[in-house]
Amino acid sequence: MDNQNKNIALLIDADNTSPKGIDPVLTVMAELGQVNIKRAYGNFAKGNLQNWDKITHKFGIRPQQQFDLTAGKNATDMAMTIDAIDLLYQGKVDGFGIMSSDSDFTPLVTRLRQDGLIVYGFGSKAKTPAAFQSVCTRFIDIDALIAGAADEQPAQRAQATSAVAPVEDDLVELLGSAWKAAKRDQGGFASLSEVGNIASNRSSFDARNYGYKRLSDLFEALDQYQVERRDNGHLYVKRLR
């Protein structure tokens, strides 16, 4: 089944994420297939969620009202979890997006992935516990997505490099390990897509978390690597040092 025919569900913890991220998140989710199920959960009667009114109509998101029956937001978490498991057992969903910075969804993501489903997590990297980030197929920093979307506006396009974040030593090590594990030709070049797949299998990182649209852009920004586009149109990467 190609991606265009895959049915994707996006479940949004409105209590714990920003409506500004909806547009760029849907753009990312298009990588997986058609986002036909879009639901936002929260107590929309509260003042801090009033901005979701126009957003849900604009993007065809179904609001799932959850009243605060007890202290905290457990009702929202429970409703999202129940719906996700229902969708899983109906067998009609090929992948999920979970918008939240809440570690309470870690067991849910783990369960979904045990059935072989791709799960993208979207949350604020600074606020999201490492446990939730690591169990996702990919975890994408929603703050970086929002900043990247703003940089695409014509008036701000010249400032696009301002959204680039420093590349951490752990990520450089991860990419190096993935390159070593990939099949390399006599010149030391490995397929960029294979390197990316190996790195993704070992971690939930995404190049967009660092302000780069593509993995190739990230590699080209690293002095340790050389990126080469060949006649077949495919990209290859070689470690220089």
The label of the residue with tokens 């390197």 reads 195
Q: Which amino acid is at 1?
A: M
* Residue 99 contacts residue 11 (beta carbons within 8 Å): yes
Q: Which residues, 6+ apart, have CB-to-CB distance to 145 below 8 Å? A: 21, 24, 25, 28, 122, 208
Parallel, antiparallel or unpaired: strands 225-229 and 235-239: antiparallel
206 is written with which tokens? 């995404």
Domains and CATH numbers, the chain: 3-151 (3.40.50.1010), 164-239 (3.30.420.610)
- What predicted TM-score, i.e. pTM, was given to this entire model? 0.75
Amino acid at 16: N
- Provide CB contacts within 8 A for 152, sequence distance 6+: 160
Q: What is the pLDDT of residue 211?
A: 80
The whole-number pLDDT of residue 122 equals 95
Integer Cα distance of 195 and 184 in angstroms: 10
The pLDDT score that the predictor gives to residue 173 is: 85
Per-residue pLDDT 10s for the chain (241 aa) are 566 689 999 999 998 888 889 999 998 998 889 999 999 998 888 777 878 888 888 899 999 988 876 655 578 889 999 999 999 999 989 999 999 999 899 999 999 999 999 999 999 989 999 999 999 999 999 998 888 776 655 444 444 444 566 777 888 888 888 898 889 999 999 999 888 888 877 777 788 888 888 889 999 888 889 999 988 888 999 988 8
Residue 57, CA distances (Å) to 23, 24, 51 in order: 13, 16, 11
Going by their DSSP bridges, the two strands 118-123 and 225-229 should be labelled as unpaired
pLDDT given for residue 213 in this prediction: 81
* pLDDT for res 206: 82
Q: Is 41 helix (H, G, I), strand (E, B) or coil?
A: strand
